[in-house]
């Protein structure tokens, strides 16, 4: 006798699966449950009345309606509590899948030791999760490291974990964060210059240069004269400058605040109005700086 299969689905609208019957034409509930875990029975739609009918179940054996399974699609029955639990599991899985597909971004790694290589960077960050890209930024002419790099992870949760802490790489503490260009895609201009507020008079240009060199190559440091409690630092790479904006850093035991140095042509009149000492003091500085001073820091 050739083996007979009946068509079974979780819902009438879904594609059915064929389940084998026994030699006597019955179907074991265990055969159904093997494909549909938690199943407790079957039902089908009566072709004449269009009502759903239950399939007779006796001691774990399902019996064909009117001794013939026909070409109907049989729908799986689940206990109410079990169905609710399965729906909760499906919902939780959907959330996990959605979270799992959140896109990762390139993270900037600030403060890298000059000797750190891309392999060193990959070996370190691989302890957190799968790394799909590492890069140490280097000078095009000398090949020397610029003191920062980039890393990208395969998993979004790994990225979140890495951003939340500082990292000791080759004996130096490094910061790993989203570049401001990623966090604020509407940023109109990417400047290489930062405004350092709350400076003290004992801070020299050499002090600032030595401090900020740990984040990347510094091309210029400017402290206004007469002293105005702030300074400008310019980096070779705009991504380093943007990554530091908004940070509070400790220099010579003093907390300084880092913000964007805004282009003066955006609001030159506001520059004159806000600058302490008036136009005379400002004019002495314009030869060195093309940027206005944020009014919140002066």
pLDDT tens digit string along 185-219?
444 446 789 999 999 999 999 999 999 998 888 99
pLDDT score recorded for residue 261: 81
The answer to the question of residue 237 being in a domain is yes
Convert 210-240 to b/e letters by CB count within 10 Å (16 or more is b). Answer: ebbebbbbbeebbbbeeebbbbbbbbbbbbb
9 alpha-carbon distance from chain centroid: 39
Residue 2 predicted with pLDDT over 90: no
Q: Specify whether 64 is located in the same domain as 124.
A: no
Give the C-alpha separation, 75 to 119, whole Å: 56
Domain that holds residue 13: 5-77
Q: Specify whether 201 is located in the same domain as 253.
A: yes
Q: How many domains, the chain? A: 3
Residue 128 predicted with pLDDT over 60: yes
CB 6 within 8 A of CB 21: yes
Beta-bridge partner residues of 293: none
Number of helices (H) and strands (E) in the chain: give both, helices first.
Answer: 9, 20
Q: Which of 102, 90, 112 is nearest to 173 (CA)?
A: 112
The answer to the question of residue 294 being in a domain is no
Q: Which residue has the tokens 């774990």?
A: 60
Task: Express each pLDDT in 84-122 by its tens digit.
Answer: 556 665 665 555 544 445 678 889 999 899 999 999 999
Which pTM does this prediction carry?
Answer: 0.41
The answer to the question of residue 268 being in a domain is no
- In this prediction, residue 278 has a pLDDT band, given cuts at 50, 70 and 90, of low
The answer to the question of residue 288 being in a domain is no
3-class DSSP state of 236: coil
The answer to the question of residue 71 being in a domain is yes
Give the C-alpha separation, 87 to 220, whole Å: 61
Give the C-alpha separation, 112 to 176, whole Å: 10
Strands 167-169 and 172-177: antiparallel
Region for 285 from its dihedrals, namely left if φ exceeds 0, alpha if ψ lies in -120 to 50, beta otherwise: alpha
Non-local CB neighbours of 64 within 8 Å, separated by 6+ positions:
25, 26, 27, 55
Share of the chain above pLDDT 90, in %: 40
3-class DSSP state of 181: helix
Residue 62 predicted with pLDDT over 90: yes
The answer to the question of residue 290 being in a domain is no
Q: How is the beta sheet containing 254-260 ordered, strand by strand?
A: 218-222, 230-235, 193-197, 254-260, 248-251
The answer to the question of residue 274 being in a domain is no
Q: In the predicted model, what is the mean pLDDT of residues 240-245?
A: 86
Query: Residue 254: which CATH number?
Result: 3.30.70.330
Q: Specify whether 162 is located in the same domain as 201.
A: no
* Tokens describing residue 264: 């003066």
């Amino acid at each position: 006798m050739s083996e007979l299969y009946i068509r079974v689905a979780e819902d009438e609208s879904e594609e059915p699966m064929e389940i084998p019957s026994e030699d006597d034409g019955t179907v074991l509930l265990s055969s159904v449950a093997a494909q549909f875990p938690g199943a407790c029975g079957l039902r089908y739609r009566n072709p004449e009345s269009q009502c759903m009918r239950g399939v007779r179940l006796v001691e774990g054996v399902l019996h064909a309606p009117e001794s013939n399974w026909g070409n109907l699609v049989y729908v799986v029955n689940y206990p109410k509590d079990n169905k609710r639990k399965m729906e909760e599991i499906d919902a939780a899985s959907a959330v996990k899948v959605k979270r799992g597909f959140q896109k990762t971004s390139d993270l900037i790694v600030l403060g890298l030791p000059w000797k750190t290589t891309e392999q060193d960077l990959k070996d370190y960050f691989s302890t957190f999760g799968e790394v799909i890209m590492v890069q140490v930024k280097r000078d095009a002419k000398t090949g020397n490291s610029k003191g920062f790099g980039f890393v990208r992870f395969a998993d979004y949760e790994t990225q979140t974990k890495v951003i939340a802490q500082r990292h000791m790489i080759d004996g130096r503490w490094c910061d790993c964060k989203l570049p401001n260009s990623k966090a604020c895609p509407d940023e109109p201009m990417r400047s290489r210059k930062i405004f350092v507020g709350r400076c003290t008079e004992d801070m020299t240009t050499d002090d600032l240069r030595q401090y900020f060199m740990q984040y990347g190559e510094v091309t210029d440091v400017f402290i206004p004269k007469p002293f105005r409690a702030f300074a400008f630092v310019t980096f070779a790479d705009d991504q380093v400058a943007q990554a530091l904006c908004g940070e509070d850093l400790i220099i010579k035991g003093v907390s300084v605040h880092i913000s964007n140095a805004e282009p003066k042509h955006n609001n030159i009149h506001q520059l004159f109005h806000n600058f302490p000492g008036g136009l005379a003091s400002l004019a002495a500085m314009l030869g060195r700086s093309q940027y206005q001073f944020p009014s919140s820091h002066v």
